[in-house]
Amino acid sequence: MQRFANPARFMRLSAALLPWCAVAAATLIAIGLYGALFIAPPDYQQGEAVKIMYVHVPSAWLASLVYAVMAVASAVALIWRHPLAHIAAESAAPVGAGFTFVCLVSGSLWGEPMWGTWWVWDARLTSVLVLFFLYLGFIALANAFDDRTRGSRAAAILAVVGVVNLPIIKFSVDWWNTLHQKASVFRMGGPTIAVSMLWPLLVMAAGFLFLFAVLLMLRMRTALLRAKLRALRFGT
Amino acid sequence: MNGFAALLTRDLRLAFRQGGDVANVVAFFALAVILFPFGVGPDPDLLARIAAGVLWVTALLAALLSLERLFDADFQDGSLEALSLMPVPLEIQVLAKCAAHWLTTGLPLTIIAPLLALVLHFDAAGYPALIAALLLGTPVLSLIGAIGAALTLGARRAGVLLSLLVLPLYIPVLIFGVAASEAAALGLESRPHLLLLAALLAGSLALAPWATAAALRQALE
């Protein structure tokens, strides 16, 4: 791990990887979208609106995955004082918040025709909303200090605290939901999903994963270059 | 243990000699609760139904209000630095500070809550559970809040930031606190909710001081 602490090596490695990842993301998302929009059948109940799923579900997966990546990077940064890990965590946060936001908006757009409402206080929706606020808190804390290293340390501690709390919040929200609404109005289809609908979904998810990798590397490179520029300009 | 007691009495003495802190928190709590009948109307049935939720949400906000000052004064005048050099572990000191915070906010809130519950026509059967839940839940608010207070030391606009960090983490306490109080008012079993609140308290007692101490150390570096 310490081998990758060298920013120069990271810059070389990411420069080599970046085009490949970008191509992979673009191809996978193109194939996935084609499969989703033209090959996958419309749902017998939901009609064409089911195709929102191909954006909604992958972004929901990414929303939690990015938080995990951010928390692991933060833990690495705190334990080994790994300089790149701080940058990785801070670069991942806005991307994760973006995926969470896409997940919330696409879910809302999907909910309107299906359940007849933009928002339901369902356990899942509520946990994702809380996750969004955890992301916002992380970003706000990282940028709240004049001294940048202080901000990234504080934010790293917050990310680790958040990861301990997330399961508790998730559990309590589930509990709260079953308490307040006895009848669950909606259920997502069921666990079984047709292969013709599954493969575009998985391809889209893979595409989103590569998209995250691309965005993360781009943001990390920008952060490193900006730090270098600041050092050149102000000599700090 | 000596260091713990010394720090606790110091903080309590400071809180009482400066005065106003406890009174402010209680006044805010009472006033915010009293605003609700104006907002939703004086219908006793409606007020009784939302009483537990209103009390918990406002208690949470009142606890948040005083959090900013938990470490800030000591941080500004440098005594936090002196404290960190004491032979008493920082984690124990954090516990003492949280205890002082709870004694000056959580406990007064718990004492005044039944009076406000009365005003909101809260069902009489719910009172024991409401008080028990507040007694178990408010220390968790102090403990989790301490993490946020330590993280935002020296930040710009620390107050707003603090609420953004801490409020999402308060959700479990709110859920189980309201559930316990409401279950008892509806004649249901409130024990499981109280046990879960106790579990939250035990968990945060064990874990929150570590996180807070880590945050304080990096603030002092």
Kindly state whether residue A87 falls inside one of the protein's structural domains: yes
Q: Residue B167 has what pLDDT? A: 92
* Most B CBs within 10 Å, among A128, A136, A158, to test the B interface: A158
What count of residues does chain B have? 221
* Most A CBs within 10 Å, among B164, B205, B217, to test the A interface: B164
Among residues A163, A156, A155, which one has the least CA distance to residue A76?
A156
Among residues B54, B219, B89, which one has the least CA distance to residue B148?
B219
Q: Residue B157 has what pLDDT? A: 82
**Number of domain units in chain B:** 1
Q: Residue A1 has what pLDDT? A: 63
Q: Residue B1 has what pLDDT? A: 67
Q: Residue A181 has what pLDDT? A: 43
Least confident of A53-57, A115-119, A156-160: A115-119
Residue B169 near residue A165 (C-beta atoms within 8 A): yes
Q: Residue A193 has what pLDDT? A: 66
Q: At A53, is the pLDDT very low, low, confident or very high (cuts 50, 70, 90)?
A: confident
With a CB cutoff of 8 Å and minimum separation 6, the contacts of A227 are: none
Q: B7: domain range?
A: 2-220
Kindly state whether residue A163 falls inside one of the protein's structural domains: yes
Chain B CB contacts of A172 under 8 Å are: 171-172, 175-176, 196
Residue B52 near residue B181 (C-beta atoms within 8 A): yes
Q: Which of A157, A164, A169 sits opposite B151 (nearest CB)?
A: A157
Tell me: pLDDT of A74 over 70.
Answer: yes
Phi, psi angle pair for A73, to nearest 5°: -60, -40
Cα–Cα distance for residue pair B43/A133, rounded to 1 Å: 34
Residue B133 near residue B181 (C-beta atoms within 8 A): yes
Share of chain B above pLDDT 90, in %: 50
How confident is the prediction for chain A on average, in pLDDT?
84
Chain B CB contacts of A165 under 8 Å are: 169, 172
Q: Residue A183 has what pLDDT? A: 39
Cα–Cα distance for residue pair A213/A192, rounded to 1 Å: 30
Residue A135 near residue A90 (C-beta atoms within 8 A): no
Residue A165 near residue B207 (C-beta atoms within 8 A): no
**Between B158 and B57, residue with greater pLDDT:** B57
Q: Residue A191 has what pLDDT? A: 46
Q: At B98, is the pLDDT very low, low, confident or very high (cuts 50, 70, 90)?
A: very high
Q: Which of A154, A158, A172 sits opposite B176 (nearest CB)?
A: A172
Kindly state whether residue A15 falls inside one of the protein's structural domains: no
Q: A62: domain range?
A: 20-40+47-182+194-234
Please report which residue ranges of A81-187 form alpha helices under DSSP H: 83-115, 123-142, 148-180
Kindly state whether residue A189 falls inside one of the protein's structural domains: no
The pLDDT tens digits of the residues spanning A139-192 come to: 999 988 888 888 888 999 999 998 888 888 878 877 777 654 443 334 444 445
The pLDDT tens digits of the residues spanning B6-19 come to: 889 998 888 888 77
Query: What is residue A43's three-state secondary structure?
Result: strand
**Between A100 and B155, residue with greater pLDDT:** A100
ipTM for this prediction:
0.86
Between the CA of residue A213 and those of A72, A142, A217, A220, B102, what are the distances in Å?
A: 15, 21, 6, 10, 45
Residue B134 near residue B59 (C-beta atoms within 8 A): yes
Residue A133 near residue B168 (C-beta atoms within 8 A): yes
Kindly state whether residue A25 falls inside one of the protein's structural domains: yes
Q: Residue A184 has what pLDDT? A: 39
Kindly state whether residue A110 falls inside one of the protein's structural domains: yes
Least confident of A137-141, A218-222, B56-60, B83-87: B83-87
Kindly state whether residue A221 falls inside one of the protein's structural domains: yes
Question: Which residues are bridge partners to A43 per DSSP?
Answer: A47
Kindly state the DSSP code that residue A47 receives in the 8-state scheme.
B
Residue A114 near residue A47 (C-beta atoms within 8 A): no
Least confident of B50-59, B100-109, B153-162: B153-162
How confident is the prediction for chain B on average, in pLDDT?
90
Between the CA of residue B150 and those of B158, B159, B217, B220, what are the distances in Å?
A: 10, 12, 9, 10
Chain B CB contacts of A129 under 8 Å are: none
Chain A CB contacts of B167 under 8 Å are: 133
Kindly state whether residue A6 falls inside one of the protein's structural domains: no
